Chain A
Amino acid sequence: MSIVYLIPGNLSSTNYGVKEIKRREKLLKKWSEQPSKIRVFDVPKGGSSIESSYEEVASIIPAVDRLQELTNFEKIDGAIIGCFGDPGLDVFREMFKFPIIGPAQSTMHTACQLGHKFSLVTIFDSMISMGYKQVHEYGLSHHLASVRAINIPVLELLNDLDLTFNKLQKLGKQIVKEDRADCILFGCMTMSFAGLEKKLEKELGIPVLNAGRVALKTLESTLSMGLKHSEIAYPYPVKLNSKKKTYLKKNKLIK
């Protein structure tokens, strides 16, 4: 029995290394109701970080295969895709019967309960339109104030936390004043795991959401209600195997 936080890339081989994976696992355990259940994994066949649509798409199949492989070792109750792009959220939900949480989707919906308009802080200017597209896809365009970029690469965000915080603070002030947002979302998991949200919240006076923590709470709530994503919305791919085909048929027959 476990909750898997799957980083859809090869974080172990980057400058952050295995110790960063362990650090994130420790933080998730601290936030969790059942710390012993949390496990963090990365994807050895994946890239180092996701900063473009291409890298996002390329990460999906290796990550799905990795989760499939993990299910062979132990029973998994639910999984979080450890990237704010929620890469392959629909794909994962079609493939697995346990709940799959995308940090962006869960954090954006939480933001809708805290205010009317949220802003995302992404990594590069080149990723701003990806942010807009993602919000449209979740049907939350009415709730988006802006997407702004910090312009520090993912793999440098943790090198100098003062610099990262200063940039976030500057962006945050612009977001509040110019974009009129009332809630800020860290649009990157490394940013979320930097531990800066409460300090920034204090500076800006509006909620700042750590997507890792919100995703974990969403998964825990989903599990304790015995819920999972709808199989009508995310049916198992018909052609994958005949056994599953009958399973799908059975589920479709609601008379």
Chain B
Amino acid sequence: MGKKIKILYQFATAKLKTPNGDKEVLKRKKFLEKNIGTNTTIKLSIPNKGPGTIESDFDEAMATPNVIESIIAAEKKGYDVAIISCFSDPGLEACREKVNIPIVGSGENAILLSAQLGNKFSILSPLHSNSFSFNKRIFSMGLEKKYCSTRGIGMSVLDLAKDRKKTLNKILSIGKAAINKDGADVLILGCMSMAFHDIAPVIQKKLKVPVINPVKASLLTAEALVKMNIFHSKITYPKPLSKKIY
């Protein structure tokens, strides 16, 4: 049924260079392949330079050029859609200006989905310091009325990727605090390493609020946009004037 869809899944970090990176990438590949439609193929694109994780504005700035470069190449190679695999969506707007294929930002997409499932969403992030850039992000998306809080679980991205059980327990206790103390009614896993543990259903069952896995959500949106033949508005994201980059 329907046409074949080619997704480029763009990592923002040099994941293979990190300790046990090959294992983590293999886990992600399996998860991604399990969660796409029968007519869809997915290619992982992983930068071989740049930071190994994104936990600050500095990391994000260092990762962005790699994302943009790969996505420009992906359009030329005939991909139908690209997903930026990082909750901070590094380079999202820049890519949308530069290419015509739809670009899904894992963070933006998950946040917009959460706004439809309740009145107040909270983001669970690796570290508390992530909340500063997330706050800024929500304001730029114009969704502050629906935003409840960002809570860090106090684990670095690499640590939480290593230890599924500890991550799950931390998320459960911090998630409860977001619901009971902050007043959240929807939770978002605000980090790809959390999402690839595939723990959203367990948390949802325990905490009894919708829990959004940004990876699954990004795949579904990417497929839906291609099927509906929908692209970004070129008024919002006009092609940059052609000029020499020195």
The chain A residues found within 8 Å of chain B, CB to CB, are 31, 33, 105-106, 109-110, 112-117, 138-143, 176, 180-183, 198, 205-207, 209-210, 213-214, 217-218, 220-222, 224-234, 251, 254-255
Contacts and interface: CB of A to CB of B under 8 A. Distances in A.
A109 B142 CA distance: 11
Given A106-B116, A233-B117, A254-B176, 15 more contacts: A109-B112, A114-B232, A115-B233, A116-B236, A141-B142, A143-B142, A182-B233, A183-B233, A218-B116, A220-B224, A221-B220, A221-B224, A230-B119, A232-B185, A233-B120
B176 A139 contact: no
A105 B116 contact: yes
B220 A224 contact: yes
B234 interface: yes
Contacts of A116: 236
B228 A217 contact: yes
B228 A142 contact: no
Residue from A31, A205, A206, A225 with most neighbouring chain B CB atoms (10 Å): A225
Given A225-B217, A225-B220, A232-B179, A115 B118 contact: no
Residue from A106, A140, A181 with most neighbouring chain B CB atoms (10 Å): A140
Residue from B105, B113, B186 with most neighbouring chain A CB atoms (10 Å): B113
B242 interface: no
B208 interface: yes
Interface of B: 1, 37, 104-105, 108-109, 112-113, 115-120, 141-143, 145-146, 176, 179-180, 185-186, 200-201, 204, 207-210, 212-213, 216-217, 220-221, 224, 227-237
B92 to A, nearest CB: 10
Residue from B145, B179, B213 with most neighbouring chain A CB atoms (10 Å): B145
Given A140-B142, A225-B220, A207 B230 contact: yes
Contacts of B204: 226-227
B233 A207 contact: yes
Nearest to A208: B230
A28 B232 CA distance: 23
Nearest to B206: A254
B108 A206 contact: no
